[in-house]
């Protein structure tokens, strides 16, 4: 295992921890981006095994562009939520009826 594989796995783990523990919307967007960066690093480490296959690298570049677009959309929606409600924390999942 290379350092890139271990670092990518650590980034995915840190991002998952952030997604699970934080209710703040912007922190969840950041955690989702950390997960994506870890996955891109894992794909790059797997595509670095000495073969000259350009497909993993093309997938990484395409994924970065899609992740940037999705992040811009998520931030715009979070700003809109903040304008409408004044808050960017997500509800905890139950409505208090029971």
**Digits of tens for pLDDT over the chain (98 positions)?**
789 899 999 999 999 999 999 888 899 999 999 999 999 998 888 777 666 778 878 888 999 999 999 999 999 998 998 888 888 787 765 555 54
For CA atoms 83, 80, 16, 95, give the dihedral sign.
positive
- Report the candidate in 31, 11, 22 with the shortest Cα–Cα distance to residue 71: 31
- pLDDT confidence of residue 95: 54
**Predicted TM-score (pTM) of this structure:** 0.80
Could you tell me the fold of the domain covering 3-85? Answer: Helix Hairpins (1.10.287)
Residue ranges covered by each domain of the chain: 3-85
């Amino acid at each position: 295992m290379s350092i890139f594989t271990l670092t990518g796995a650590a980034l995915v783990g840190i991002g998952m921890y952030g997604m699970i523990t934080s209710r703040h919307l912007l922190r969840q967007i950041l955690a989702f981006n950390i997960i994506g960066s870890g996955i891109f690093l894992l794909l790059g480490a797997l595509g670095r095994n000495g073969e000259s296959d350009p497909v993993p690298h093309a997938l990484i570049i395409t994924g970065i562009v899609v992740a940037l677009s999705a992040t811009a959309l998520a931030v715009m929606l979070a700003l809109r939520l903040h304008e409408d409600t004044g808050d960017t924390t997500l509800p905890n999942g139950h409505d208090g009826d029971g």
